[in-house]
Amino acid sequence: MEEQHDIPQDSMSPRRIIKNVGINCFLIFSIFMPYMGLAYLQSSLHTHQNIGVISQTVLFASMMFSCLFLPRLSLSLLGYKWSIILACICHIPWIAANGYAVWMTMIPASILVGISGGVLWPVKSAYLNKLGAEYTKLTKTDNETIMSIIFGSLFACLSLAKVMGAAVSSYILTQSQNSFNFSKQTEED
């Protein structure tokens, strides 16, 4: 018997499925815009003792291991929606840790994001796949088309988050460089 987790089959309408996909896309955008903006700056911002590069290495190493073992456990304990929500919330301490980037903040926060990221992507993919299959069944449309639209929307929001994060990073670097040049010019005068 197939596990249903937290998608009640009898209460899903095509409109509700579209709403859930939209909420997931918005959630990805709102979490990954600041995350990606900071991730792009790790090697530039946190150069002392290579903490930026090392924390990114720890993050991705913990993500590699967690995506192999934790998604199924997370689904069993929390279901789709709560696994996704909790995984996204776990990105917030890493974003905050960048405000005080020392070993004691960055490494634990990187491990937390790695573990949650290893859960987020497989669970989110499985959830969106279930939503797409249900939408296909309800509307009698082509499954491949619906899945392409759903995952295309998700990755468009993720790509937009990356672009916006990079733009914010660029703006911050430009402003800090202008501020540095201004203070240097004032000292010379």
> Sign of the CA dihedral 138, 139, 143, 144?
negative
Q: Per-block average pLDDT, block size 10, for the chain (189 residues)?
A: 54 90 94 87 75 89 93 93 94 90 90 95 94 93 93 95 90 71 48
DSSP per residue over 21-45, as a string? HHHHHHHHHHHHHHHHHHHHHHHHH
* Both tokens assigned to 99: 């405000």
How much is the pLDDT for 183?
A: 42
How much is the pLDDT for 134?
A: 94
Residue with token string 């929606």: 81
> What's the predicted TM-score (pTM) here?
0.80
Q: Do 31 and 94 touch, CB atoms closer than 8 A?
A: no
User: Cα-atom radius of gyration of the chain, to the nearest Å?
Assistant: 20
How much is the pLDDT for 102?
A: 86
CA 81/CA 150 separation, integer angstroms: 16
